[in-house]
Amino acid sequence: MAKFGFRSTAEQVTEGVDASGLTAIVTGGTSGIGAETVRVLALRGAHVFLLGRNLKAASQVQEDIVKSIPHAKVKVLEGDLSSLASVRKCASEFLALNLPLNILVNNAGVMACPFTPSKDGIELQFATNHVGHFLLTNLLLDKLKRTAQKSGIEGRIVNVSSKGHNFFAPKKGIGFESMNSEADYSRWKAYGKSKLANILHANELSRRLQFQEEGANVTANSLHPGVINTNLLRHYPQYVPILALASYVGNFIGLKTVPQGAATQCYLALNPHLKGVSGKYFSDCNESKPSKYATDPDLGKSLWDLSIRLTSTSDESHRG
């Protein structure tokens, strides 16, 4: 088995993998590491659905990929992760296609934005980074399980988190009591708790798949992609020249290129050596240790219960 690390690219960690016959959904695939993940999964033969809220940008990515990879099978799904209605519509449209689903990469996200309530009244970072992905995953979970059962091929759910969960999440881990309080809002703490939620979600989902639904051949893992100069920095344009300079003079602050930043999620989505690995957190394509809160099962269960309530408990959203 090849050893991968900080400098590995998404193409390198999936080299030799034949993903033909697999179907994947990648959220936030209109730019940055999301677009690179769509490209590399398509390069390896997967039928990839690019989920994005900007149809024009999504269509442009689709066009660019097909132009450079003639055999690529890329389709666009319109969906806004910050809107529960949009997530439900998007999931319904995909399920109506009656296609298999092998891989779900929950990649979309916003970072350190000013306090903004979503259409559902949930703080925007928590809504987009966690709640929307929680609902999408639950709505597609039966499809992932059925596909794995029929095909005999392991289904994979990949949550893109961040080491920011270590530095920015509040001392209580999530801070449920001040979830939507503008008075207590800190853009970086809100980002940290949403990224902590990504890990807790993957861990709790993995536990449920393993112990409550014996035989469900689906794994769930989370990851830190690295520090990358992408659209996530749109609220901090002043940092872009600094990061660009850092990249030019030798990457002294650990800045990754986009192909390097997409490596770990592509590794988790496709690499055969990870068969059966679930409920783990990765960085630089290697298992890593998250914060103590990220491995707290009680916090994970509390977050799950809150997420069910926030997504308006229904038969389809409670199947996880």
Would you say domain 10-310 falls under CATH 3.30.450.20? no
The structural domains of the chain, with segments of one domain joined by +, span: 10-310
Record the tokens describing residue 238, joined without a space: 């002043």
What span, in angstroms and rounded, lies between the C-alpha atoms of 267 and 277?
Answer: 12
Residues whose CB is less than 8 angstroms from the CB of residue 299 and which lie 6 or more positions away in sequence, other chains included: 173, 174, 200, 293
Predicted pLDDT of residue 169: 73
Predicted pLDDT of residue 165: 81
pLDDT tens-digit readout, 66-107: 999 999 999 999 999 999 999 999 999 999 999 999 999 999
Predicted pLDDT of residue 84: 97
pLDDT band (50, 70, 90) for residue 309: very high
pLDDT tens-digit readout, 23-61: 999 999 999 999 999 999 999 999 999 999 999 999 999
Predicted pLDDT of residue 240: 45
Q: Burial letters for 242-253: b for 16+ Cβ neighbours within 10 Å, e otherwise?
A: ebeebbeeeeee
pTM > 0.85: yes or no: yes
Instruction: Compute the average pLDDT of residues 299-309.
Output: 96
Predicted pLDDT of residue 234: 45
CB 64 within 8 A of CB 94: no
Distance of CA 238 to the CA centre of its chain: 26
**Active-site residue list:** 185
